[in-house]
Structure 1
Amino acid sequence: MYAIPHLETKAEVLNVLEQIKLTQNKQAIDWVNDKSKKWVLAGISRAFTLMPIKTWNFIRFDTNISESAYENVNRDGISLSLLGAIYSYIIQTYNVPKTYKNKSSLKRMENSEKRLQKRKSNTTKKTNRMTKKQKTTILNIDNSYDSRNALEESNLPNGQQQKIILEFEKERNKILKERLSLKKELLELGEN
């Protein structure tokens, strides 16, 4: 059924119509009976039309515009009806086909920018969350924390475990040094 506008010979079109009739589907048979009229076939198949091929290829392939374009071309010999001409002009200039979505290069670039900004905003949110988590884990380190036991329970490879252990121990040592220096200052203040 959908191949009819693209078939090139009358025999092919009639063969497809006969195959549709053989399906014994009442709606399909009614459709074939409706479209079997000479003037309707000329509107839906370029094999039956007297329209120039260039004009036929220019129109959209839904039956309403095809049939009206055929009628107008054969009646006055000039291109399309006003409605058909408006449709084709809109499609050519603004690239808005029958889906009614704007697919012009400008709109595609605009949508691309929106997606890029959305991606950037999502990545910044993720990094902020990760930074906050790291700060809280560093501040919660105390003397009784044994980083080796915690990491041995996880299933990280040895190289990664060693790097993480070293980072934790460095942070723990910094915190211990700060506490030690604070205690020394308190002792000195207490003696004076």
Structure 2
Amino acid sequence: MTVRPGERTTLRSTGPDLGAGALADRFAGGRDRFDVLELRAAGRLVASPAVPDALAPMQRLAPASAAPTRTLEFLGRGINGRSMDMDRIDFAATRDSTEVWEVVNRDGTPHNFHVHDVRFQVLSDGGEVPASALSGWKDTVYLPPNRPLRIALRFTDHADPDVPYMYHCHLLYHEDAGMMGQFVVVEPGQSPGRPPRRHAHAPHR
């Protein structure tokens, strides 16, 4: 793209196809359109360095065919049929392990999946190779209705059997209604403990 001195360009968000049907798309923002940012070129421009052919290398965590370690189903206002309970640890991941999760939206309502502590890679989207927009590191991803996403996660630090991390729908009114769970990272052979009475989650990384 060539920019002229003094030129203004607007970055605009247009309505995404959420795949949830016309009514659900409308009430979940699928028809929203708004300006995000206006870029204003200076009156005098200088040439920018060339963009490299390749950016930083990315190590793949697991093959796309790997069997899932866990399955998380989003339905109603719960995950795997359970609402958030601050006194319950849903599972433990072992430090220095790689897990494959299958995350699926089982209702017609759009959901986003977000996990604390680790970033992840999308291995497959509905059984297919992910689109280029899903090829990088993620900490949040959209869950189209009834289209499973398989993701790979590597747990490398901050092991504590009593201090949990959260995973949840990243729509505020869904997580407030209980569409959340929590897990701990433990050392090999260690069992999950119990969240302290004065509960505090591990830092959001």
Question: TM-score normalized by structure 1?
Answer: 0.19
Higher strand share: 2
The structure having more radius of gyration, on CA atoms, is 1
Higher helix residue share: 1
Q: Give the TM-score of the pair, scaled to structure 2.
A: 0.18
